[in-house]
Amino acid sequence: MTAPALVLLGYGSSDPRVARVSQRIKAALLEIRPTLDIEVAFLDHGTPSAPQVVSQLALRGASEVVLVPLLLSDAFHAALEVPAVVAAVRAAHPGLRVLASRPIGPEASLLSVIDRRLRDALRSRRISELDGLVFSAAGSHDVRSNAIVARRARQWATHHRLPCVTAFAVASGPTTAEAIRTLRGQGRRHIAVGSWFLAPGLLFTHQAELAYEAGAVAVADPMGAEPEIAEVALVRYVVAAMELVELGEDADTEVEELPARHLSVVSA
């Protein structure tokens, strides 16, 4: 039986680096599963759209399609926009079986990517001491989604045994700059920022600039197309594909354990 086609569904941007990250995740997935039919589409601010990609897949003879949202939370885009896309595609192709998986975030295993990116930033700026952390995320107007992201931030802070403030670029809650000022008000002077962003779009760039202006010693780059991203995307696809063959089992792949290293050991 032919495996369902996989469509990586990202939130597009006018910044071309965002689309490049999605294409690199596709390449990483093809290295793991070279026989899969994998395409990239965007919810907004980018082409091709999901309906365009699914139409192409239907013309090539696909009968089943799984959309995997490259989103780091289950907020507005995952909860409303993705189901709307699925409904539109099904209406346009009534003979095609289409569904969407859970988004790749907020998977706990992705915290290891945050660590790796921050270590790189600390090394490049020759920083060997930290006494505070900021967990910077895009955020949303969905309080529940922000609470789950904040939970990931607490896991991260507990692992590294450092005080941490969660910051959001959108909606209520402190910005990255405000979070840094909060920590500085507590006497912290060596504050680094971990970035819960997938790609270096406008939101990330603005938050990074504000962070350095507020006195951050280092800001981690976005996660990008790291192996963990592709692995989580593949797991999401497999679980959703199982639903297409009506196995009906709900899998929870969340990994709570983190690597044993700590950010205080910058050279490790």
The mean pLDDT values, 10 residues at a time, for the chain of 268 residues are: 92 88 97 97 88 96 96 72 93 95 93 97 96 95 86 95 94 88 97 96 93 98 96 96 67 43 42
Q: What pLDDT, on the 0 to 100 scale, is given for residue 75? A: 62
- 130: DSSP letter: -
CA distance 9 to 251: 21
Q: What pLDDT, on the 0 to 100 scale, is given for residue 78? A: 61
Taking every pair of C-alpha atoms in the chain, what is the biggest distance, in angstroms?
Answer: 62
For residues 97 and 89, is the Cβ–Cβ distance under 8 A? no
Q: What pLDDT, on the 0 to 100 scale, is given for residue 13? A: 85
Q: What pLDDT, on the 0 to 100 scale, is given for residue 76? A: 52
Architecture category of domain 108-219 in CATH: 3-Layer(aba) Sandwich (3.40)
Q: What pLDDT, on the 0 to 100 scale, is given for residue 246? A: 61
CA distance 219 to 120: 10
CA distance 9 to 199: 14
Q: What pLDDT, on the 0 to 100 scale, is given for residue 91? A: 96
CATH topology (fold) of 5-105+225-244: Rossmann fold (3.40.50)
- 245: DSSP letter: T
For residues 81 and 43, is the Cβ–Cβ distance under 8 A? yes
Two tokens, residue 66: 């799984």
Q: What pLDDT, on the 0 to 100 scale, is given for residue 74? A: 74
For residues 42 and 10, is the Cβ–Cβ distance under 8 A? yes
Domain span(s) for CATH 3.40.50.1400 in the chain: 5-105+225-244, 108-219
Two tokens, residue 68: 């995997």
